[in-house]
Structure 1
Amino acid sequence: MKLNDVTYMRLILAAVAAFILAACASMGRPTGGEYDVDPPVYVQSNPAIGSVNFKKNHITIDFNENVQVEDVMNKVVVSPPQKNIPSITANGKRVTAELRDSMLDNTTYTIDFSDAIKDLNEGNTLDGFAIDFSTGDSIDSLRIAGMVFEARTLEPAQNMLVGVYSNLSDTAITTLPLERIGRTNQLGQFIIRGLKPGDYRIYALNDINRDYHWDRSEDVAFYDVTVSPYAEPTTVSDTLITLDGRDSIVTHPGTNYFPNDILLTWFNEGYKAQYLKDYTRPDRRRLLLNLAAPSDTFPTITLLNGPAAGKRIDELAILNTGMTRDTLEYFITDTALMAQDTMMLALHFLRTDTLQQLSWGNDTIRVLYREPKANKTKEKKVKKKKDDEENSDSIVGPQLTFLNISAKTSNTQEIYLPIIFEVNQPLDTIIPEGLHLEMIRDTIFDTLAVPELVRVDPFNTMRYKVEYKWEPGVKYRFSADSASIVGIYNEWNKPFKHEFTARALEDYSLLAFN
């Protein structure tokens, strides 16, 4: 039986509808297009790059995609340097900069973003982007470029401030803010823009306190000759690609800026300002003074109160100080001064003045000793125990406090170095017969010459050394008999022993020179 035309059309429509429904129900993952590897592209700004007679402090910059500005405080710099930190934000495709200082007349302003601008999604960096404009009728356009390295390691210096002075005085860097600045990127590269013709001195700073000049504690680099920037015309070649993929090379006029190869190496002289940081009395026997920097000249300290008023502290105590000479530890030997809770002291010492020079100054300090609660509780317990013992028939001797001695070198001894020991108070007496040095021969310790305890440092009364020509790979033992070492407070040591093995020659390298 033949189908009529109406029925035939209905069957065709049903088949088409079924096919469409099947296609709509199939699942798939959208591709999202090709991965973006291009940095943001500058579109326009207000003011336009290179504008003149622009005196507003509100600047906007538009890009072809959504952007972000990363680490504004460390990467973005404004020339001339701003006393008040500018506000720089990103919103969508626009970056906004608000300069909070008063705008200077006839001045070229540069906002150098270095590598701070990235697209929002993939984080592609727009490196070396900057915008400049002038508040006068002309704009300064010369540049100086180069790199900064660390002198010790030759590693590139990142986020370091680089700037110039037209004032060629050697002291300008310590008193005046830099006139034009740039900042190094992750490769240590920098560009200083917006320069006038003339002679300049170039410096790089790790400007910690953001005052745009060098403080002696900061890292610094300098170029040892003056620099005169200049520009030369050139021809620049670019490749243009059409929509259908065909490319062609075009040329247009351009400018080369010199010098562009300045190399700076930063260093730090390790300067510290000298002053009295703090002072404490941790116990009745000790007075501690902490200086901000090492000193070869110790302060003159005079006691102003108590039975010993008018005497110098070095008449009443023994000074101990470490190798750094910045911590002065006085061990009080006068019993009346030990019992004194409050000490008024007059200090005459070297300190840094406003010109960053050491000069003699005077100060008066009041040092208090407060008995710790734990000590008071312990004293009550000792007193109660003593009372209980007096009421009993048993006889108990006094509590003894011993001198502490410890080895500061390990059990593996370098064969070319002495062994080091440390005590907890200055020493009064060392009995040589109580000191022993031995070495193992066939599992038996053989006695060597009597060792001599010698101070490691003339000002360090707590650290001593024993020097000997150690045999490689041999085991040694240093020992001190009980009461062979006595401190200034009439405390002596318990029996002490330190065993160690000298390193084998195989642990060292051999270097021969001809």
Structure 2
Amino acid sequence: MRNISTDKESGLKHVKTAAIAKLAVLTCFSSVLLLTTRCASIQAPTGGPKDSIAPTIVLESPVNLSRNFKANKIVITLDEFIKLNNQAKEISITPEMDRAPIFKVKKKNLEITLPDSLAENTTYSINFGKGLVDYNESNPILNYSYVFATGDKIDSLSISGNVKSALKNEIEKEAKVLLIPIAQDSIFGKKKANIFTLTDTAGNFKLNNLREGSYRIYALKEKNNDRIYNGTDEEIAFIKDSINLKADVSGINLQLFKGVPTRFRTIDRTLEKDGHILLTFNRRIEDPKIKVLQPSNFATNNRIIYSANQDSAHIFIPKITTDSLKFEVSEGLNILDTVLIKASNTDKLERFIKPLTSIKSSKVDKIKHITLTALTPIESIDKGKIKIFEDSISRTNFQLQIDSLDKNKYHIRYNWKDLKAYELVLEEGAIKGYFGEINKEDKSKFTLDKTNNYGDIYLTFAGIDSTQNYVVELIDEKKERVFNTQVLPKDGKISYLKYPGGKYSIRVIFDENNNGRWDTGDVYKKIQPEKIWYLDRVFTIRANWEQQETITLSN
């Protein structure tokens, strides 16, 4: 006979055990869930692509472009958390208010509390530039403006155009375009302009909600982001005449340039390892003259080499025995600067000449042969200490010729042969400097470059103005390297002979002052940079080819 009470106790124990187990599972699951939830609430997501999308406006209250505006607070709602970036420099209000409004960010909302002293019948524009950004990645809403009018009319005129670099004719994105009323033009270079916008990726701009009046327009590419032109370290553009705005204006072309500094400065002075002095200036010196004031016995015993742009000078002097040097820098008869250089540890200076040759990639050009030069002024070269070996056999029947234009350059010519191994040896003392410096032994191994990769091209320019002076420059397709510069003859014909095969292009400088080079502008004197015209294509010089091209120049 079954014991019913025992069965009941056993059943109860089983149910109780199952319940306890189930409760334990639920408790564990709840703990894990709670822990996961807590972790998720504080841990930022990781991985994935970086957000590059600017936030979007979803609501403006009152609505943008409101008339008869009476509110004292503006609320702008976006689709994600936001913040203000560089508020003092990026955000502008035009016209200025008697008291500045208060900007406050609350998660996805921007609240702007306005003063109670707004002028009647006035259009106000709050321009955010790049100042309104998302919270995490700081992606800006470019050129967002909130506009309202206290009267029944909103200013609706606009000015649009394009900004490019004057020198390279390339579009300039995110350049600031400043508009200053004529009555306030004296603030240029002193105070920040309130009316501004940024160019887009195509270099285009548009200034909206403008009132009738006369304005001056500028473009600025600046370093410190204060909407003030701070001098020639920054790029500026302008149009010479003011804009009398009565209707929408379009097609404004602004050319950015760096001006010539009004104050001359020696920006760097260096005692080089080989004992010569390098002076670097903040602008070109038209008629440079440098006088050694100290030591006085160096006044006539020196050699000076100016850079091609005449904005730096290499000064070569005898061995330094004093602890300081003093130089006077002049432009013609006008003394520009006095430069003092401390000359300590002069015993460590290595006064020798380092030869420079045209041997590239262990190859020698059979047309141009070998050029030999040095940064240091060369007094003489001893041909007897120059050795040429052809398959290890010494050859003495080479020519050594000084360049007809550059007295610091020599040419070594020889009947180079294919399939021969060559070595050029410059023995110690082969080159002698102006102050007795000599070279250390120098060896170069090479073979003949047999590619014969040279061609001739003859250019004829059409559409030229006989009263205009032009300078033609042969450049690479990236506009970064200039291979040749020459004045365009009146017959409009230029030839490039024995040029390496490859892709080239042309730019033409409208040389207004006939000095043979491009000149930048001056915003204060209202002088524009000289115009540069670029060929809108590249052409190819083909090896062993002689070709002709006609280029039509548009004025």
Q: Which letter maps to 2:330?
A: F
Per the alignment, do residues 63 and 439 of structure 1 end up closer, same or farther by CA in structure 2, a change over 3 Å counting? Answer: same
Q: 1:219 is matched with which residue: 219, 235, 241?
A: 235
| Distance in 2 (alpha carbons) for counterparts of 1:137 and 1:359 | 65
Q: 1:301 is matched with which residue: 291, 295, 299?
A: 291
Q: Give yes or no for contact 1:66–1:119 (8 Å, CA) kept in 2.
A: yes
Q: Deviations over 1:209-252 (max 9, x none)?
A: 53534744433444577655566xxxxxxxxxxxxxxxxxxxxx
Percentage of matched positions with identical amino acids:
19
Normalised by the size of structure 1, how large is the TM-score? 0.59
In the other structure, the counterpart of 1:389 is none
Per the alignment, do residues 433 and 127 of structure 1 end up closer, same or farther by CA in structure 2, a change over 3 Å counting? Answer: closer
Q: Deviations over 1:10-45 (max 9, x none)?
A: xxxxxxxxxxx9xxx9x99x9xxxxxx996335344
In the other structure, the counterpart of 2:8 is none
Residue 168 (structure 1) shift: 11
In the other structure, the counterpart of 1:162 is 177
Secondary structure class of the residue paired with 2:314: strand
Q: How does 1:317-332 map to 2 (within 5 A)?
A: 317-332=302-317
Residue 206 (structure 1) shift: 0.9
Q: Which letter maps to 1:78?
A: S
Q: Give yes or no for contact 2:143–2:198 (8 Å, CA) kept in 1.
A: no
| Distance in 2 (alpha carbons) for counterparts of 1:200 and 1:295 | 35
Q: Which letter maps to 1:219?
A: E
In the other structure, the counterpart of 2:92 is 78
Q: Deviations over 1:393-449 (max 9, x none)?
A: xxxxxxxx984433354334473656454547433332234335x585x88665543
| Distance in 1 (alpha carbons) for counterparts of 2:368 and 2:386 | 19
Q: Deviations over 1:144-165 (max 9, x none)?
A: 2344345666665322111234
Q: Is 1:432 aligned to residue 383 of structure 2?
A: yes
In the other structure, the counterpart of 2:82 is 68
Residue 121 (structure 1) shift: 8.3
Q: Give yes or no for contact 2:55–2:139 (8 Å, CA) kept in 1.
A: yes
Q: Give yes or no for contact 2:289–2:329 (8 Å, CA) kept in 1.
A: yes
In the other structure, the counterpart of 2:401 is 452
Per the alignment, do residues 411 and 76 of structure 1 end up closer, same or farther by CA in structure 2, a change over 3 Å counting? Answer: same
Q: 1:340 is matched with which residue: 312, 315, 322?
A: 322
Q: How does 1:60-209 map to 2 (within 5 A)?
A: 60-63=74-77, 65-69=79-83, 71-72=85-86, 76-80=90-94, 90-96=105-111, 108-113=123-128, 117=132, 129-133=144-148, 140-150=155-165, 156-167=171-182, 178=193, 180-209=195-224
| Distance in 2 (alpha carbons) for counterparts of 1:96 and 1:266 | 38
| Distance in 1 (alpha carbons) for counterparts of 2:417 and 2:244 | 62
Q: Is 1:500 aligned to residue 481 of structure 2?
A: no
| Distance in 2 (alpha carbons) for counterparts of 1:128 and 1:488 | 61
Q: Deviations over 1:365-415 (max 9, x none)?
A: 54433337x86xx9xxxxxxxxxxxxxxxxxxxxxx984433354334473
Q: How does 1:451-490 map to 2 (within 5 A)?
A: 451-454=400-403, 457=406, 464-466=409-411, 468=413, 476-490=422-436
Q: 2:330 is matched with which residue: 346, 349, 354?
A: 349
Q: Which letter maps to 1:319?
A: I
Normalised by the size of structure 2, how large is the TM-score? 0.56
Residue 131 (structure 1) shift: 0.9
Q: Deviations over 1:169-198 (max 9, x none)?
A: 999967886563212244544331332224
| Distance in 2 (alpha carbons) for counterparts of 1:158 and 1:181 | 14
Q: Give yes or no for contact 2:399–2:413 (8 Å, CA) kept in 1.
A: no
In the other structure, the counterpart of 1:386 is none
Q: How does 1:412-423 map to 2 (within 5 A)?
A: 412-413=362-363, 415=365, 417=368, 419-423=370-374
Residue 451 (structure 1) shift: 1.5
Q: Which letter maps to 1:369?
A: A
Secondary structure class of the residue paired with 1:451: strand
In the other structure, the counterpart of 1:316 is 301
Which is higher, the Rg of structure 1 or of structure 2?
Answer: 1
In the other structure, the counterpart of 2:257 is 268
5+ residue gaps, structure 2? 1-22, 24-28, 38-52, 454-499, 502-540, 549-555
Secondary structure class of the residue paired with 2:219: strand
Q: Give yes or no for contact 1:321–1:329 (8 Å, CA) kept in 2.
A: yes
| Distance in 1 (alpha carbons) for counterparts of 2:204 and 2:78 | 26
Secondary structure class of the residue paired with 1:62: strand
| Distance in 1 (alpha carbons) for counterparts of 2:204 and 2:410 | 50
Give the aligned length. 415
| Distance in 2 (alpha carbons) for counterparts of 1:126 and 1:341 | 58
| Distance in 2 (alpha carbons) for counterparts of 1:439 and 1:481 | 13
Per the alignment, do residues 168 and 123 of structure 1 end up closer, same or farther by CA in structure 2, a change over 3 Å counting? Answer: closer
Per the alignment, do residues 276 and 38 of structure 1 end up closer, same or farther by CA in structure 2, a change over 3 Å counting? Answer: closer
In the other structure, the counterpart of 1:368 is 342
In the other structure, the counterpart of 1:411 is 361
Residue 63 (structure 1) shift: 0.9
Q: Deviations over 1:256-281 (max 9, x none)?
A: xx34x536354425745631224455
Residue 284 (structure 1) shift: 11
Q: Give yes or no for contact 1:165–1:180 (8 Å, CA) kept in 2.
A: yes
Q: Give yes or no for contact 1:42–1:63 (8 Å, CA) kept in 2.
A: yes
| Distance in 2 (alpha carbons) for counterparts of 1:285 and 1:326 | 20
Residue 204 (structure 1) shift: 1.9
